Structure 1
Amino acid sequence: MSARYHLNDLSALLRGKKVAIVGLGGTGSFILDSVARTHLDQIALFDDDKVHLHTIFRWPGFIPGAIGKLKVEALATHYDQWHSGIVPVAERITADNVVSLRDFDFVFVSVDEGPARLLIVDWLSANNIPFVDCGMGLNRSTVGLSGFVRITGTDREAFDNNRGTVRLPVENAKADEYRKQAQIPELNALNANMAVIRFKQHFGLLDRESDATSIIFDTVTFEMDRAREPR
């Protein structure tokens, strides 16, 4: 629909580009929902998990019969109606196969494990492959839920500046704490949209003035905190 708004010159900036989405939970699925509406040549989906009951409450829309199927297969079949070139890869990215990300023009990282995040983002930034790493946390407070939504990227500076901080955590939370970290679709969608905006800024579809390497949105204050200097 780019022609309707006289934006063919901008939307064409994504023609021929290939992106990967690593992790197809709540945030990753909303990323797919957005980038499937672009002129990308290929969208590869990396995840080895199956669809569970809680999964469908985090995904956009509803995919009948998805429970029990591999996430990447269910999503690829559904979004193939929107966009050709969606490639499901039923694999978890590890040190053994991270090299499979080498041919992509951009990678969205939406995993929930700190060591996996460290491995992937370290490798991507060391190999000059632009990325956006996503994250969120939500806890019960005395008056409701409070939390944050975060994106970090897109280069080695972003990795070096934020590694090991709340902006790019590289360790897992304790098991009991992790289970308190609820996910709700509006925050998954916000996380994904922040990541997609940063992705479109990278390729020039959206203007950008901030040089922030990481941005955190606080759900309580409704404010965004931007990181620029090494931490």
Structure 2
Amino acid sequence: MPVEPDSAVAENGATSPFVYPDTDSTRAGIEAVSRRLAGGTIAIIGLGGTGSVVLDLISKTPADRILLIDGDRAEQHNAFRWPGAMAIEDIAAKLFKVEYFANIYGRMHTGIEPHAVHLATNTIGLLEEADFVFVCVDSIAARAFIIPALEQRDLPFIDCGLGLSLIDDRLMGLIRVTTSTPTMRTHVHVKDRIPLTGNADDELYRSNIQVADLNMLAGTLAVIQYKQLRGFYVDTEAEYHAIYSTDGNAIINADRA
């Protein structure tokens, strides 16, 4: 985890990562609480529907740097899962996803760094500069490489998963948010919390991309968990694994630290 800044330094005008002041925290009177999110480098792996929401929320925190890691280019179908409204000119430009988002969120946060690559043995070194990682990929093969690499570096991370199934011509959605930190990791493997083997990538999810609401909820739950870890939100249960189901709007929490 990024080290919390010394309060005196923060109060005496440490350099802000924002292009313009965070008047929302000031207006709400929560500047001291917000400073618990200051500093450090956050990496977001995967800038699809969920990763883009994580970026939207993390860009509004005073993290020093936000590393965007994704080797894909922005396409028209992405616009229907991403926050905001993508301009047709941006679609035609065929920018890398990380370039597009760096342009958008760089208007607000100065520390956003795009890396138009997929993580592999020759690019995994990007994570050496990270203090916390959000894993927002939809490939088991990618996770099978990324998760062990994060564990080897003893990095805290949150992995987001989303699945859909078609039942009686209607969709049932499940969202999974799994946390792993140096304090607690065994649940990931002992209880198979993160899929790392097999070929069970959800084909329905991959083909039916009109699930922006579930992407948004997955990203939001992940960032809330991150803020709990940083002491921004009260967290008396300290759950490291949560499943949300659209059927009944139920959230099941497990694996408490």
TM-score normalised by the chain length of structure 2? 0.82
1:196 to 217, 220, 223: 223
What's the CA shift for 1:195? 0.4
1:40-55 aligned within 5 A: 40-55=63-78
Q: 1:154 matched to which residue of 2?
A: 180
Q: Contact 1:152 / 1:213 at 8 angstroms: preserved in 2?
A: yes
Change (3 A) 1:179 1:32: closer
Q: Which runs of 5+ in 2 are unaligned?
A: 1-23
Q: What is the rounded CA distance, in whole Å, between the counterparts of 1:176 and 1:17 in structure 2?
A: 36
Question: Is it true that 1:95 corresponds to 2:125 in the alignment?
Answer: no
Question: Is it true that 1:69 corresponds to 2:92 in the alignment?
Answer: no
What's the CA shift for 1:178? 5.9
Q: Contact 2:135 / 2:158 at 8 angstroms: preserved in 1?
A: yes
SS at match of 1:221: coil
What's the CA shift for 1:124? 1.5
SS at match of 1:228: strand
SS at match of 2:239: coil
Change (3 A) 1:144 1:92: same
Give CA deviations for 1:102-122 in whole Å, capped at 9, x if unaligned: 221211000111122122222
Q: Look up the equivalent residue of 1:66 and give its one-letter code.
A: D
Q: What is the rounded CA distance, in whole Å, between the counterparts of 1:151 and 1:196 in structure 2?
A: 10
Change (3 A) 1:206 1:140: same
What's the CA shift for 1:165? 6.0
Q: 1:109 matched to which residue of 2?
A: 135
Q: Contact 1:158 / 1:214 at 8 angstroms: preserved in 2?
A: no
Question: Is it true that 1:9 corresponds to 2:32 in the alignment?
Answer: yes
Give CA deviations for 1:50-86 in whole Å, capped at 9, x if unaligned: 1111100000001322222110000100111111111
Question: Is it true that 1:32 corresponds to 2:58 in the alignment?
Answer: no
Q: 2:8 matched to which residue of 1?
A: none
SS at match of 2:119: coil
Change (3 A) 1:80 1:175: closer
Q: What is the rounded CA distance, in whole Å, between the counterparts of 1:88 and 1:211 in structure 2?
A: 32
Q: Percent identity at matched positions?
A: 35
Q: Which runs of 5+ in 1 are unaligned?
A: none
Q: 1:121 matched to which residue of 2?
A: 147
Q: 2:17 matched to which residue of 1?
A: none
**How many residues are paired up?**
230
SS at match of 2:90: coil
Q: Contact 2:139 / 2:201 at 8 angstroms: preserved in 1?
A: no
Q: What is the rounded CA distance, in whole Å, between the counterparts of 2:103 and 2:228 in structure 1?
A: 29
Q: Contact 2:173 / 2:214 at 8 angstroms: preserved in 1?
A: no
Q: What is the rounded CA distance, in whole Å, between the counterparts of 1:106 and 1:31 in structure 2?
A: 13
Q: What is the rounded CA distance, in whole Å, between the counterparts of 1:215 and 1:141 in structure 2?
A: 23
Q: Contact 1:151 / 1:167 at 8 angstroms: preserved in 2?
A: no
Q: Look up the equivalent residue of 1:85 and give its one-letter code.
A: G
Q: What is the rounded CA distance, in whole Å, between the counterparts of 2:178 and 2:255 in structure 1?
A: 11
SS at match of 2:225: helix
Q: What is the rounded CA distance, in whole Å, between the counterparts of 2:180 and 2:32 in structure 1?
A: 24
TM-score normalised by the chain length of structure 1? 0.91
Greater Rg over alpha carbons, structure: 2
Q: 1:22 matched to which residue of 2?
A: 45
Q: 1:226 matched to which residue of 2?
A: 253
